[in-house]
């Protein structure tokens, strides 16, 4: 494991992973109480990826996520209350309740979904990166004087079987676009193991075919995720074109709340839980003398308060009035004159 | 501008769009070096350079999706898809992203994207290059669907589409590209809200759009020789449909035939017919007629292709049936 030098930084990474874990445990509970409906895809087990990777991106960068994006939005800074309200389907949710669990959006933080068609976000990310390339700080189109923006595109191992994955890597490399292809390989495309759907299971190697540099990273190690992502962001921001990272990780919970998990053994799950990114990182911090019981208590209490406030924000939130059903299908016409 | 071809009108619209807004760029298969499959973008690469006239790989889903992403990122992309049949490879991006993201994000994001594509039959290019699927697209809320039939609309609707904040799909009937017409400068800027009466009449309304407009006008000429006065309504915009112009016409003529190059079952003509029934049932002197394509993949030989498509004589026959 990578060595941590800075206590505050280490505690912050731990805190962020715990925020995701506790938030999602609450989501599962609220789901069983009928407060949250539809599909709910939990990220539990994979927290080191979002917590390590997302802070490597600045406010001018764009983030494109998947339907398992609770952690990404949380780390990006979308308030927990607006995420919980979205899960409730309330009008004070981050997408006015129109999207739910799979469709978090946050324009202010350049968070472009929350997209639930596997690989469907890759072309979108290529386009966002194209816009960034066409509007560098020197461009008269760049009115805000933005820095060199890059786009982070998250997707899972299932996405690499889709044509859009291959088309997007090719186009991004051909046009040298500032996009990071960030594959969260949790070994299962829903219930189909990687080896049952890919002839080449080494995902990072697929980037070779498109002349894109790539690296596979231990996705259960938050420091490894962070270091690799930072390096990749620097490479892309310098104008070198796209980069692919494969985070090797594992989902501890079922694919969604409907999944009976017939496709993997309890022993396999138990084995991966030995590599729980939060437990491991806690041990590492303790071993380095950087974490005390009191730190953990303080952190735990603050997170519990944040979650309680988020639930209360969602509970108190209004339902979108029925007369607004078709609102936002189109942009309202500007009044004449 | 006088008499120009439809192709020249599209090119003029593209050039003006590129000149008027630095955020506009054109991308698609063979739009640059080749000059466009239908030569609509000929010369534009030399004039505007490769940053703004971008040849793409044969990756419809990704270059349409990249158009969506670039629009989200503040650009004004115009994406050319070679034909409507190829656009099926991009349906995921169109239906699941372009049409949904504004609503699904609670109104946070708009996608000012234009996608142009050729549609329609009549050139003996068989069953994978000849279909008319604009009616399918018109089924989808969240997008605007245009079918310019005249040279004025070919240029004008493109420029009007550029001012739309949401995705606009423009269907250019491939048969029209070489057709010459009078460009009516005074009609600009054209609106994207109203159907147009292309010929006034009193006995029957022929309601159509795109390539079929010219067949309907020819049918109206023939009917006039028999003393039947047909009004020809060009829908222009399939979504949002201007049904009020249609109903006004039908209330005057009391009879209607809808002409649509799509297949009859589930056709756009079926939608128009249903809306006439809902809105003007008691003004009708008879059932609404339809002239659509025969339910067959468009065949290659000319005699079979002609037989599969709406033709002026079929329209005349449908009118005779309705008028007894």
How do the domains of chain A map onto residue ranges?
A: 7-321
DSSP B132: -
Query: Is there a catalytic annotation at residue B173?
Result: no
DSSP B311: -
SS3 A188: strand
- Report all structural domains of chain B as residue ranges with CATH numbers, in order of start: 2-187 (3.40.50.970), 196-323 (3.40.50.920)
Helix (H) or strand (E) holding A84: helix A80-88
Q: Could you tell me if B286 lies within 8 Å of chain A, comparing CB atoms?
A: no
Helix (H) or strand (E) holding B183: strand B180-183
How close does chain B come to A192, measured CA to CA in Å? 22
Asked if residue B172 lies in contact with residue B10, where contact means CB atoms within 8 angstroms, the answer is yes
Closest CA to A285 of A43, A53, A219, A293: A293
pLDDT band at A255 (very low <50, low <70, confident <90, very high): confident
Q: Which residues pair with B207 in a beta bridge?
A: B233, B258
Point out the residue among B93, B109, B166 whose CB comes nearest to the CB of A123. Answer: B93
Point out the residue among A131, A164, A171 whose CB comes nearest to the CB of B75. Answer: A131
First to last CA, chain B: 44
Q: What are the residues whose beta carbons fall under 8 Å from the beta carbon of A278, sequence distance 6 or more?
A: A14, A17, A18, A21, A47, A48
Strands A214-218 and A243-248: parallel
Asked if residue B140 lies in contact with residue B101, where contact means CB atoms within 8 angstroms, the answer is no
* Average pLDDT value for chain A: 95
SS3 B196: strand
**DSSP of A244-287, one letter per residue?**
EEEEE----S-SSTT---TTS-HHHHHHHHTT-HHHHHHHHHHH
SS3 B271: helix
The token duo for A222 is 């938050």
Global pTM?
0.96
Point out the residue among B51, B62, B103 whose CB comes nearest to the CB of A98. Answer: B103
pLDDT tens-digit series, residues A185-243 = 999 999 999 999 999 999 999 999 999 999 999 999 999 999 999 999 999 999 999 99
pLDDT band at B188 (very low <50, low <70, confident <90, very high): confident
Place of tokens 């505690």: A11
- Please give the pLDDT value at position B77: 98
CA distances from residue B255 to B118, B153, B266, B275 in whole angstroms, order as listed: 31, 27, 21, 14
SS3 B292: strand
User: Chain-centre distance of CA B143, in angstroms?
Assistant: 13
* Average pLDDT value for chain B: 97
Closest CA to B291 of B307, B280, B276: B307
pLDDT band at A257 (very low <50, low <70, confident <90, very high): confident
* For chain B, percent of residues with pLDDT exceeding 70: 100
Place of tokens 């982070």: A152
CA distances from residue A283 to A10, A227, A288, A319 in whole angstroms, order as listed: 12, 19, 9, 44
| Alpha-carbon gap, residue A109 to A336, rounded angstroms | 32
Q: A131, B103: Cβ pair inside 8 Å?
A: no
| Alpha-carbon gap, residue B202 to B225, rounded angstroms | 14
Q: Could you tell me if A5 lies within 8 Å of chain B, comparing CB atoms?
A: no
Find which of B26, B52, B62 to mutate to test the A interface (most A CBs within 10 Å of its CB): B62
| Alpha-carbon gap, residue B66 to B136, rounded angstroms | 22
| Alpha-carbon gap, residue A103 to A113, rounded angstroms | 6
Asked if residue B63 lies in contact with residue A122, where contact means CB atoms within 8 angstroms, the answer is no
Q: B102, A107: Cβ pair inside 8 Å?
A: no
Query: Is there a catalytic annotation at residue B129?
Result: yes
| Alpha-carbon gap, residue B285 to B43, rounded angstroms | 53
pLDDT band at A138 (very low <50, low <70, confident <90, very high): confident
Asked if residue B102 lies in contact with residue B109, where contact means CB atoms within 8 angstroms, the answer is yes
Q: Which residues pair with B171 in a beta bridge?
A: B117
Where b means 16+ CB within 10 Å and e means fewer, A237-263 reads: beeebbbbbbbbbbbbbbbbbeeeeee
Q: Could you tell me if A134 lies within 8 Å of chain B, comparing CB atoms?
A: yes
This model of the complex carries an ipTM of 0.95
Q: Supply angle C-alpha B113, B118, B121, rounded to 5.
A: 155
pLDDT tens-digit series, residues A317-326 = 999 999 999 9
| Alpha-carbon gap, residue A33 to A299, rounded angstroms | 27
| Beta-strand runs (E) in A59-150 | 62-65, 111-114
Lowest-confidence region among A132-136, B145-149, B214-218: A132-136
- Please give the pLDDT value at position A256: 85
Asked if the peptide bond before residue A114 counts as cis, ω within 30 degrees of 0, the response is: yes
Max CA distance (Å), chain B? 60
| Alpha-carbon gap, residue A130 to B139, rounded angstroms | 30
Asked if residue B234 lies in contact with residue B212, where contact means CB atoms within 8 angstroms, the answer is no
The token duo for A71 is 């952690």
Instruction: Name the active-site residue from B8, B29, B60, B305.
Output: B60
**What average pLDDT does range B73-100 have in this prediction?**
97
**Other CB atoms closer than 10 Å to residue A6's CB: what's the count?**
9
Place of tokens 């309330």: A90
**What average pLDDT does range B171-192 have in this prediction?**
93
Asked if residue A229 lies in contact with residue A2, where contact means CB atoms within 8 angstroms, the answer is no
**What average pLDDT does range B54-78 have in this prediction?**
98
- Cβ contacts of B68 on chain A, cutoff 8 Å: 123-124, 127
The token duo for B203 is 């006995």
| Alpha-carbon gap, residue A307 to A81, rounded angstroms | 8
Is the domain A7-321 a CATH 3.40.50.970 member? yes
Q: Could you tell me if B23 lies within 8 Å of chain A, comparing CB atoms?
A: yes
Q: A105, B105: Cβ pair inside 8 Å?
A: yes
Find which of A61, A150, A330 to mutate to test the B interface (most B CBs within 10 Å of its CB): A330
């Amino acid at each position: 494991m990578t060595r941590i030098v800075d206590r505050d930084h280490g505690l912050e990474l731990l805190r962020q992973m715990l925020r995701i874990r506790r938030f999602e445990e609450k989501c599962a509970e609220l789901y069983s109480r009928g407060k949250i409906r539809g599909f709910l895809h939990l990220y539990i087990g994979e927290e080191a990826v979002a917590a390590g990777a997302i802070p490597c991106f600045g406010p001018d960068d764009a983030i494109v996520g998947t339907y398992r994006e609770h952690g990404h939005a949380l780390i990006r800074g979308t308030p927990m209350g607006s995420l919980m309200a979205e899960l409730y389907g309330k009008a004070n949710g981050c997408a006015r309740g129109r999207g739910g669990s799979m469709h978090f959006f946050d324009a202010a933080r350049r968070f472009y979904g929350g997209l639930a068609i596997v690989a469907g976000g890759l072309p979108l990310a290529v386009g966002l990166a194209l816009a960034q390339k066409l509007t560098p700080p020197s461009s008269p189109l760049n009115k805000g004087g933005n820095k060199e923006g890059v786009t982070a595109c998250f997707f899972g191992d299932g996405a690499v079987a889709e044509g859009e994955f291959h088309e997007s890597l090719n186009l991004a490399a051909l046009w040298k676009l500032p996009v990071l292809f960030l594959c969260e390989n949790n070994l299962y495309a829903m219930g189909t193991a990687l080896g049952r759907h890919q002839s080449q299971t080494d995902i990072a190697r697929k980037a070779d075919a498109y002349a894109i540099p790539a690296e596979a990273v231990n996705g259960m190690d938050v420091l490894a995720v962070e270091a690799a992502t930072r390096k990749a962001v620097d490479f892309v921001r310098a104008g070198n074109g796209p980069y692919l990272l494969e985070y090797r990780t594992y989902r501890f919970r079922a694919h969604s709340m409907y999944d009976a998990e017939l496709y993997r053994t309890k022993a396999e799950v138990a084995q991966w839980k030995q590599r729980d990114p939060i437990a491991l990182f806690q041990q590492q911090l303790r071993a380095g003398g950087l974490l005390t019981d009191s730190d953990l208590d303080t952190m735990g209490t603050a997170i519990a308060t944040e979650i309680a406030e988020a639930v209360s924000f969602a509970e108190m939130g209004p339902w979108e009035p029925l007369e607004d059903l078709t609102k936002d299908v189109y942009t309202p016409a500007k009044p004449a004159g | 501008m006088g008499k120009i071809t439809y192709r020249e009108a599209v090119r003029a619209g593209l050039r003006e769009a590129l000149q008027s807004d630095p955020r506009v760029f054109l991308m698609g298969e063979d739009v640059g070096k080749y000059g466009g499959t239908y030569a609509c973008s000929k010369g534009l690469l030399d004039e505007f350079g490769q940053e703004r006239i971008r040849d793409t790989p044969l990756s419809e889903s990704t270059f349409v999706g990249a158009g969506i992403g670039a629009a989200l990122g503040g650009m004004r992309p115009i994406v050319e898809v070679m034909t409507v049949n190829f656009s099926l490879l991009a349906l995921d991006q169109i239906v699941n992203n372009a049409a949904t993201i504004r609503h699904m994000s609670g109104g946070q994001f708009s996608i000012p994207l234009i996608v142009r594509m050729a549609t329609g039959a009549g050139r003996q290019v068989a069953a994978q290059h000849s279909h008319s699927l604009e009616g399918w697209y018109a089924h989808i809320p969240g997008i605007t669907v245009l079918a310019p039939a005249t040279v004025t609309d070919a240029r004008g609707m493109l420029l009007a589409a550029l001012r739309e904040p949401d995705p606009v799909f423009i269907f250019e009937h491939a048969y029209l590209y070489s057709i010459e017409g009078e460009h009516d400068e005074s009609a600009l800027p054209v609106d994207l809200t109203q159907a147009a009466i292309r010929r006034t009449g009193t006995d029957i309304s022929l309601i159509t759009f795109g390539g079929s407009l010219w067949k309907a006008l020819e049918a109206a000429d023939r009917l006039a020789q028999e003393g039947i006065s047909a009004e020809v309504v060009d829908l222009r915009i399939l979504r949002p449909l201007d049904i009020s112009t249609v109903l006004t016409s039908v209330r005057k003529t009391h009879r209607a035939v809808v002409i649509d190059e799509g297949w009859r079952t589930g056709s756009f003509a079926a939608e128009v017919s249903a809306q006439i029934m809902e809105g003007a049932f008691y003004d009708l002197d008879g059932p609404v007629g339809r002239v659509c394509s025969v339910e067959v993949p468009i065949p290659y030989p000319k005699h079979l292709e002609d037989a599969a498509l709406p033709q002026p004589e079929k329209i005349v026959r449908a009118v005779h049936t309705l008028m007894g």
